Amino acid sequence: AYVLLHSIPRVIDSSSTVPDLLSIFHEQEMTETVHETNGHGYLGTFVGKNGWLAILRVHSHGLVTVDLQCYEEDDFAQVDNLLNALESKLKVILNGNITRIKRLPALVRGAEVDRYWPTTDNRLVEYDMDQLVYEEDSAFQNIKILHSQQYGNALILDNDLNLAESDLAYTLAIMGSGRENYTGKEVLILGGGDGGILSEMVKQKPKMVTIVHIDQKVIDACKKYMRGTCGNILDNLKGDCYQILVEDCVPVLKKYVQEGKTFDYVINDLTAIPISMEPEEDSTWEFLRLILDLSIKVLHPSGKYLTQGNAENMTESLGLYEEQLGRLSCPVGFSKEVVCVPSYLEQWVFYSVWKK
Amino acid sequence: AYVLLHSIPRVIDSSSTVPDLLSIFHEQEMTETVHETNGHGYLGTFVGKNGWLAILRVHSHGLVTVDLQCYEEDDFAQVDNLLNALESKLKVILNGNITRIKRLPALVRGAEVDRYWPTTDNRLVEYDMDQLVYEEDSAFQNIKILHSQQYGNALILDNDLNLAESDLAYTLAIMGSGRENYTGKEVLILGGGDGGILSEMVKQKPKMVTIVHIDQKVIDACKKYMRGTCGNILDNLKGDCYQILVEDCVPVLKKYVQEGKTFDYVINDLTAIPISMEPEEDSTWEFLRLILDLSIKVLHPSGKYLTQGNAENMTESLGLYEEQLGRLSCPVGFSKEVVCVPSYLEQWVFYSVWKK
C-alpha cells in the first residue's frame, strides 16, 4: 500500500523544516538515509524494522512530499497516525504558508484483483473490482471478467474494459439512443459478442439480426457471467429473428458485398483495437477504414451505420476518425453524441453515419 | 511526476534478479543505496544527478515494484526509456514466471490544478481538470470552480465535488427522473444554489418554487461560471414562479411549520455534510434527521420529499439513512434509484419519500 501526502507552502526552507519532521520518523525507529540530490532539495529515505519505507522530499520550489510504503496486512491506524503526525507538524512548521495539503488514497500493488484500469486518455482511476470471476486466453485475446460492487460483472478484453452489466447506456447509445426503429429491419452487428445490443434489439421485433463475432470464448463467458447485459439471448446462437456467426467479420462482409446483400442497419461494436489483421491492413487505421468501407457498401441507401467512437477527450483520434469518414468510396454524412457509460469513468462519443 | 511499475512473478530470487536490474540504473549514473529491511526483501534507492529517485523493491513473496520520481519538466521519453528497459529486463530475468506486469499513469503532485478528487468510498480517481476558474472562502465554506475538458465547469465545496455542468442526470434524478409533474405545484428546495433544479423546474410552470440557500457566494459563482447548469435563472433572485431566499434553511423550515404552510414537493439538495449546525444538533446525523423531520412536517399529505442519498458503495451510510427514515415523527414510505452522474465517477443513490 502507498500513501502519498503533499503540501505546497508558499515559502520553504528545508534547513528549518526537515529537523522537526525527522523526530517523527525517529520516534517510529525508522533509519534515515540522506541522499545527495545535486541541488534538487532535501531527499531523505526512512526504513522501519517492519519493512516500511518513507520518502521525504522538500523541493526548493516549495513542494513537500511524503510517500509511505507499507504492507496490506499492516495496522492502518498506525499508518494514519504517522501521516497525521507529519501533517500536523508540517502545519505548525509552515504556519500560514501552506496553500494546499492533500493526502491521497493508498495505491495498492500486487493485489489479487487489479483495481487500476486507466482511462483512454491515460488518467489513473481506481475501480471497486473485488473478484476475478473468469480469465482465459482465447486464440484472439485475453478475456477477463471482473466483479465490481457498483457495476456488476465487467468484461475486459486485452486489459481494455469493454462493458459492464451496468452499462445499458452504452447499448442504447450504439443503437441510436431511441431515435431508430428496428421493427421489421435487417440488421448486421459486427462484434457485439456480449449480447447487449441483440438482447435489446429483439424486443423491437426486427426481421433478422446477424451478429458476426470472431471469438466463441467471449460469447461463452458473457453467456455465463454477463447475464445482466445479455439476459438469456446468448443461450442459443440462432433464434426466430437472429443468428450469431462465430467468424471473422472481414470475409463475411466481403461475401455480402459480392452477393449484393444490404442491411437497414450496420452496427459496428468491434473493440477499438483490431484483434484480427488481414495482410492487406498495415495499421489500425487501415483496418478501421476497411471495415467502414465494407460496412457502407452493405448498407441500404437509406440505412444507417452506427458505431462507438472513442473517449470524448481523445480529440485527435476523433478528428482522425472523422477524416476517415470523408475518405470512403461513397460520400457519407454523420452526427455524433456524447454519452456517459457508467463503468467507463470518461465520456464516450457515438457516431451515426448515413449515405449522402 | 510519479511512475509506478510492478510485476508479480510466481517465483522470485532477489539475488539473481537484482544485479541484472542494477546495470540499468548504473547506466543512468544513478547512485545506489541498499537499505537494511530486516528480512523484508531487497530495497534499493537510486538517485540521479537530475534529482530523479528510483525505488526498487523485490519482495520475498514475489512482488517487484519500481517507483520513479521525476519532474514535470523532465524529458518523458527518457523516463519511458528507463521504464521500458526495466520492464524488458524483468521479462527476460523472470522468463515465463510473470503473472502480471503493469505500469500506472504518473501521479502528479504539486500541480497548479489538483486533478485528484477521490470518490466517496475513497478510491483514487484522476480528473481531467485543467483550470481553476474561481476560488473563494465564504463565511460557510471553501468554494472552487474547476474546469474539466469533458464535464465543463465543476463546483467543489469544501473539497467535495458537488456538480458539474455535464450533470443534468443529477438534476433530473433529484427531481424524480420524470415521474413527477411540477405544473401548478408548490415546491420547496433546500440548498440547490447551483440553480440546476430551478432551471429545469420552471420549464414545467410550477405555481411557486422557493429555494432556501445559505450562501450568496455560491449562487454568485454559479450564476457566472455554471451557466451550463443554471442557464440564466440565477440572474434574478425572484421571478414569476420562483424566489430564492439567501438564508439558513432550518429557521425558515421552522417558521413554515409554525405557520402551517405545506408544499407539494420538498427537494433536499443540501450538501452531504452540513455547513450550518444549530446548537441542538450534536452530529451530522442529528442535523440530517432535523432537516428530514421539518421537511416532512411541511410536506402536504400527498406530497413527495425528494433527495440525493449517497454513493451506491456507501452501503453502511445508506443503511443508516434508511434507519433514520423509520424514526421520523410521521411514518413514511420510500423508494430509491441508482443513477450515473457523469462527473461523479461512482453510482449515486436518490430517494423519494412520502407520508404513509
CB contact under 8 A, A35 and B57: no
A207 interfaces chain B, CB cutoff of 8 Å? no
Indicate the SS3 state at residue B197.
Answer: helix
**B345 with A125: Cβ contact below 8 A:** yes
Report the interhelical angle of A249-259 vs A284-297 (nearest 10°).
30
CA distance B160 to A64: 23
CA distance A74 to A108: 13
- Whether residue B45 lies within 8 A of chain A, CB to CB, comes out as yes
Closest by CA position to A298, among listed A191, A190, A192: A190
Number of other residues whose CB lies within 10 A of the CB of residue A116: 19
Q: Which CATH number fits domain A2-107: 3.40.640.10, 3.40.50.1220, 3.30.160.110, 3.20.20.480?
A: 3.30.160.110
Cβ neighbours of A58 in B, within 8 Å: none
The number of residues making up chain A comes to 356
Is the distance from CB of A156 to CB of A190 less than 8 angstroms?
no
Identify from A37, A80, A122, A348 which residue to disrupt to test chain B contact, counting B C-beta atoms within 10 A and taking the largest count. Answer: A37
For CA atoms A29, A31, A34, A40, give the dihedral sign: negative
Give, in degrees to the nearest 5, the angle at Cα B139 between B134 and B144: 20
Nearest to A41, CA basis, from B277, B253, B71, B103: B71
* Cα separation, A168 vs A183, whole angstroms: 20
Amino acid symbol at B273 = I
Q: What angle do CA B349, B331, B271 make, to 5 degrees?
A: 35
Q: Residue B81: CB partners within 8 Å, gap ≥ 6?
A: none
CB contact under 8 A, A118 and B102: no
- Mutating which of B12, B36, B125 best tests the A interface, going by the most A Cβ atoms within 10 A? B125
Q: Is A33 on the interface with B (CB under 8 A)?
A: yes
Cβ–Cβ < 8 Å for A304, A262: no
User: Which residue does chain A place closest to B8, by CA atoms?
Assistant: A110
Q: How confident is the model at residue A61 (pLDDT cuts 50, 70, 90)?
A: confident
At A4, is the pLDDT very low, low, confident or very high (cuts 50, 70, 90)?
low
Positions of CATH 3.30.160.110 in chain B: 2-107
Pick A63's closest partner by Cβ from B43, B47, B110: B110
Band the pLDDT of A188: cuts 50, 70, 90: very high
Catalytic residue among B215, B269, B282, B293: B269
Among B110, B338, B345, select the one facing A8 at the smallest CB separation: B110
Q: What is the pLDDT of residue A111?
A: 87
The span from the CA of A32 to the CA of A44, in Å, is 7
Question: Alpha-carbon distance B152 to B158, whole Å?
Answer: 19
Strand order in the sheet with B160-164: B129-137, B142-148, B152-157, B160-164
Q: Are strands B2-9 and A98-107 parallel, antiparallel or unpaired?
A: unpaired
Nearest-Cα distance to chain A for B8, in Å, is 6
B36 vs A6, A40, A47: nearest CB = A47
Q: Pick from A47, A114, A118: which is nearest to B43 by CB?
A: A47
Do the chains contact at B104 and A122, CB–CB below 8 Å?
no
Q: Which three cell numbers stand for residue B268?
A: 433536499
Q: Report pLDDT for B10.
A: 52
d(CA A36, CA B307): 56
Model confidence band, residue A327 (pLDDT cutoffs 50, 70, 90): confident
> CATH topology for A166-355?
Rossmann fold (3.40.50)
Which of B128, B144, B160, B336 should we substitute to test contact with A (largest number of A Cβ atoms within 10 Å)? B128
Q: Is B294 helix (H, G, I), strand (E, B) or coil?
A: helix
- B100 close to A114: Cβ distance less than 8 angstroms: yes
Extract long-range pairs of A43-49: CB within 8 Å, 24+ residues apart.
A43/B47, A43/B51, A43/B53, A44/A18, A45/B33, A45/B35, A45/B45, A47/B35, A47/B36, A47/B37, A47/B43, A49/B38
Q: Indicate which residue of A75, A220, A269, A293 is catalytic.
A: A269
Pick the closest to residue B226 from B192, B201, B267, B249 (CA basis): B192
Query: Which has more confidence, A346 or A5?
Result: A346
Q: Which residues pair with A34 in a beta bridge?
A: A44
Q: Does A110 touch chain B (CB under 8 A)?
A: yes
Nearest CA-CA partner of A340 in A188, A172, A199, A116: A172
A123 at B interface, C-beta within 8 A: yes
Q: Is A122 on the interface with B (CB under 8 A)?
A: yes
In this complex, is the C-beta atom of A283 within 8 Å of any C-beta atom belonging to chain B?
no
Is residue A150 a contact partner of residue B313, using CB atoms and an 8 Å limit?
yes
CA dihedral sign, ordered B25, B27, B30, B35: positive
Residue B19: the pLDDT is 84
Q: Check CB contact of B101 with chain A, cutoff 8 Å.
A: no
CA distance linking residue A127 with residue B214, whole number of Å: 35
Has A293 been annotated as catalytic?
A: no
Nearest neighbour of B114 by CB, restricted to A33, A100, A109: A100
pLDDT for the residue numbered B245: 98
- CB neighbours of residue B75 within 10 Å: 11
The pLDDT score that the predictor gives to residue B1 is 43
Least Cα distance to A303 among A271, A261, A269 occurs for: A261
Interchain contact B11–A (C-beta under 8 A): no
Partners of residue A43 in chain B, C-beta under 8 Å? 47, 51, 53
Is B142 part of the contact surface with chain A (CB cutoff 8 Å)?
no
Q: Please, what is the average pLDDT of chain A?
A: 91
Band of the pLDDT at A274, cuts 50, 70, 90? low
Count Cα atoms within 13 angstroms, Cβ side, for A216: 5
- pLDDT: which is higher, A93 or B225: B225
User: If you search the block for the grid coordinates 420549464, which residue do you land on?
Assistant: B203
At A197-223, the pLDDT tens digits run 999 999 999 999 999 999 999 999 999
Cell numbers of B59, please? 519482495
Best interface-test mutation with A: which of B336, B345, B348 has the largest number of A CBs within 10 A? B345
Beta strands in chain B (DSSP E): 2-9, 31-34, 42-47, 53-58, 64-69, 98-107, 129-137, 142-148, 152-157, 160-164, 186-191, 208-213, 238-239, 242-246, 263-269, 299-311, 332-340, 347-355
Option in B40, B50, B338 nearest A51 (CB): B40
- Among the residue ranges A32-46, A121-135, B146-160, B278-292, the one predicted with the least confidence is B278-292
Q: Helices (DSSP H) in A119-269: which residue ranges?
A: 168-174, 196-201, 216-225, 227-230, 249-259
List where CATH 3.40.50.150 sits in chain B: 166-355
Higher-confidence residue of B276 and A339: namely A339
CB contact (8 A) between residue B43 and residue A53:
yes
Q: B59 touching A, CB under 8 A?
A: yes
Say which amino acid occupies B297: K
Chunk chain B into consecutive blocks of 10 residues (it has 356) and report each block's average pLDDT, rounded to whole numbers: 54 72 92 94 94 91 88 87 90 81 89 93 96 97 97 96 98 98 98 97 98 98 98 97 97 98 97 53 76 95 96 92 89 97 98 96
- As a whole number of angstroms, the distance between CA A342 and CA A338 comes to 13
pLDDT at B3: 53
In chain B, which among 318-347 make CB contacts under 8 A with chain A?
338, 340, 342, 345-347
Nearest by CB to residue B116, choosing from A40, A59, A104, is: A104
How many inter-chain contacts (A to B, CB under 8 Å) are there?
152
Report the 3 state secondary structure along A22-68: HHHHHHCCCEEEECCCCCCCEEEEEECCCCCEEEEEECCCCCEEEEE
Q: Which of A6, A39, A105 has the CB atom closest to B110's CB atom?
A: A6
- Determine contact: A49 vs chain B, CB below 8 A: yes
Q: Above 70 in pLDDT, residue A9?
A: no
First-residue to last-residue Cα distance in chain A? 56
How many angstroms separate the CA atoms of B133 and B140, rounded? 20
d(CA A150, CA A166): 8
Are residues B50 and A65, on separate chains, in Cβ contact within 8 Å?
Answer: no
Closest approach of B168 to chain A, Cα-based (Å):
11
Q: Can you give the pLDDT at residue A272?
A: 62
